[in-house]
Amino acid sequence: MPEDAVLYETRGALAFVTLNRPQRLNAIDFALIEGLEEAVARANREPEARVIVLRGAGRAFCAGYDLQMAPAAEAQAQERSGGWDPVADFRMMSRNVRAFMSLWQSPKPVIAQVHGWCVGGGTDMALCSDLIFMAEDARIGYPPSRVWGTPTTCMWVYRLGLEHAKRLMLTGEALDGREAERLGLVSRAFPAERLAAEVESFAAKLATTPTNQLVMTKLLVNQAYENMGLRTTQTLGTIMDGIARHTPEGLAWRDLAMREGFQAAVRRRDEPWGDYTARKRE
């Protein structure tokens, strides 16, 4: 798989897919996107595998997109091409959505094992999985909804009720594992030291069900959500993500990141709302 950004191994009926950029907290790049899709396809090709476990190496499940250099890279690319191309943006982000949705579309069930941080694009992978088991001290949220992004897969809407989905999307707040379990966002939350063992135990129990039965049941449940307009919502979410990065506030925040550094821009983002456009004019 590309640069070993994603590792694949099997133990009995379980296939383990491991995001493997621990030095970057498994932040998403092109190699990880390609590796994820390839690993899911491989698990579905191998008849002995019945259940897929998705996890992250190192201190976090996934810290979202690898954005340290993204503001400057995007600005330079647009300068070379003569400006923002919304269709090219949509096609690029749709490619990522297809990779995330390979988990949803996988005939075999996928369990996400979430520890550490799961934010931004990392939540797309967790929420596109079938079941989520989370460490009690882990954190899951979508901070880019404060500025410079919208969730492209929009799975928050379908996994939570309207009230909680709106609260989390409007604020960019993160939940710990206990709160995520209480709201029904995840199946179970465990102490971090027990998480891997509990996931493997549950996955092994799930794998005692015949593959055909697992596939049919997953397809039946997923179809109900497809009929609610999931794909249409994702198309709109992917378009809105591009727009969010090119509003006056989005462009000003990008300029702030280029001028003062990504970490400083994130701190500004998470402070009480400020006039980014004013900062851009300074």
pTM of the entire structure? 0.94
Give pLDDT tens digits for 57-73.
999 999 999 987 788 88
How many Å apart are CA 261 and CA 264, to the nearest integer?
5
User: What is the structure's pLDDT at 276?
Assistant: 58
The amino acid that residue 97 corresponds to is V
pLDDT in tens, 181-212: 999 999 999 999 999 999 999 999 999 999 99
- Both tokens of 53, joined, read 């476990």
CA distances, 90 to each of 103, 235, 264 (Å): 21, 9, 28
Given a cut of 60, whether residue 19 has pLDDT beyond it is yes
**pLDDT exceeds 80 at position 128:** yes
> Do residues 168 and 175 make contact, with C-beta atoms less than 8 angstroms apart?
yes
Hey, what domains does the chain have and what are their CATH numbers? 2-246 (3.90.226.10)
Position with higher pLDDT, 76 vs 1: 76
Whether the per-residue pLDDT at 279 is higher than 80: the answer is no
Asked which of 16-30, 77-91, 114-128, 183-197 is least confident by mean pLDDT, the reply is: 77-91
Can you give the pLDDT at residue 30? 93
Give strand pairing partners of 174. Answer: 141
Phi, then psi, of 53 in degrees rounded to 5:
-110, 120
Task: Kindly state the average pLDDT of the residues 155-177.
Answer: 96
Name the band, by pLDDT with cuts 50, 70 and 90, for residue 278: low
Alpha-carbon distance of 265 to 14, in angstroms, equals 41
Buried b (16+ CB within 10 A) or exposed e, 242-256: bebbbeebbbbbbbb
pLDDT above 50: residue 2: no
Lowest-confidence pick of 140-154, 185-199, 254-268: 254-268
DSSP string over 75-104: HHHHHHHTS--HHHHHHHHHHHHHHHHHHH
Taking 90 as the threshold, does the pLDDT of residue 160 lie above it?
A: yes
List of residues 6+ apart from 22 with CB closer than 8 A: 56, 57, 58, 59
Separation in Å, CA 258 to CA 154, 266, 273, 275: 28, 12, 19, 17
Helix, strand, coil percentages in the chain from 3-state DSSP, rounded to 5:
55, 15, 30
CB neighbours of 21 closer than 8 A, spacing ≥ 6?
5, 27, 29, 32, 57, 66
- b/e map 105-120, b = 16+ CB within 10 Å: ebebbbbbbbbbbbbb
Q: Would you say residue 280 has pLDDT above 80?
A: no
User: What single letter denotes the amino acid at residue 45?
Assistant: R
